[in-house]
Amino acid sequence: MAIARYFKKVDLFITMTANPDWFEITWELYPGQTSYDRPDIIACVFKMKKDKLIDDIYKKHIFGHVVVYIYMIEFQKRGLPHVHLLVILHDNHQIRTSADIDSCISAQWPDLRTQPLLFNTIRLTMVHGPCGILNPFAPCMEHGRCTKGFPKPFQNSTSTSDDGYPLYMRPDNGRSFTVTVSGISTININNRWIVPYNPYILAKFHCHTNIESVSTFRTVKYSFKYIHKGPDRATFQYDRDEIKKFINSCYISAPEGMWRILHFDVHKHIPSIERLQVSLSLLLQNIPYTYHY
């Protein structure tokens, strides 16, 4: 809250998820093993990738001069780690216009002839669904609608919606990729199904890396609350004891267990925050005191 109060506006919200098919993971597997058999390798490789991503953003300034970054490590139910990263840029490099958003975020298919690596990474990691009437039983469906708002409408240019979230440019340029849904129907996935990404980061790290522009102050509350919401929790029910009928518990996957055994950070923020102690007796006596950020 101290960071949110002082810096006010977040510029970028990035989520990067580990890819079990990374070469650094598969290269170390023994014959007959899969990446899920080696949670130690998954944890170590993802930490290296996460550190490299932060170095590119904070030290190499791929988005401009960064004054604040905050990240939180979480783990999916199937065990893959992912990082939620908030980035606040210097006033001279903040993202303010549609052109600024287009310079670092894309939500469309690239040209297969000139960017084959990027195209293949998007095909494997950045296509949502399909869901809706094409696949009513998709995990993102709730009450007959996609909770993520897909498919998105076609957009010839980037704009900002009423709720403060940008509507990224998704031109109807005919670029698509054919997929099979439920082994029955075949459809063309166009730009309406592409999750927003940064071309440089996606081509370099070859994993699901969603990047969003936090364009207005109204989205600050959601951003900070989301990264601090904690891991997924489950409620178990059994009938042996009426008093202890329900147990609140937290699911710990093998990669998360290895992450904590190796003492890797699960949270970090730059700059650091120092909690200042305030004497309640001084406040009650109306004695003036000073404090500093």
Q: What is the pLDDT along the chain (293 residues), one digit of tens a residue?
A: 788 778 877 889 999 999 999 999 999 999 999 998 999 999 999 999 999 999 999 999 999 999 999 999 988 767 789 999 999 999 888 888 889 999 999 999 999 899 999 999 999 899 997 888 878 888 888 888 888 889 899 999 998 766 667 889 999 988 888 876 655 567 788 999 999 999 999 999 999 999 998 866 556 666 667 676 666 665 566 566 665 666 666 778 888 999 999 999 998 988 888 877 776 666 666 655 454 44
What pTM was estimated for this model as a whole?
0.84
- The pLDDT of residue 162 is 63
- The pLDDT of residue 273 is 83
- The pLDDT of residue 221 is 64
- The pLDDT of residue 79 is 76
Q: How far apart are CA 192 and CA 151, in angstroms?
A: 5
- The pLDDT of residue 291 is 47
With beta carbons less than 8 A apart as the criterion, state whether 129 and 115 touch. no
Give the helix ranges, DSSP H, for the chain: 2-7, 23-26, 39-54, 98-104, 116-125, 199-205, 220-227, 254-261, 280-284
Report which of 84, 72, 73, 80 is spatially closest to residue 39, judged by C-alpha positions. 80
- The pLDDT of residue 222 is 65
Q: Is 15 helix (H, G, I), strand (E, B) or coil?
A: strand
Residue 157 has, within 13 A of its CA and on its CB side, a CA count of 5
Q: How far apart are CA 24 and CA 13, in angstroms?
A: 26
- The pLDDT of residue 230 is 65
- The pLDDT of residue 259 is 93
- The pLDDT of residue 265 is 92
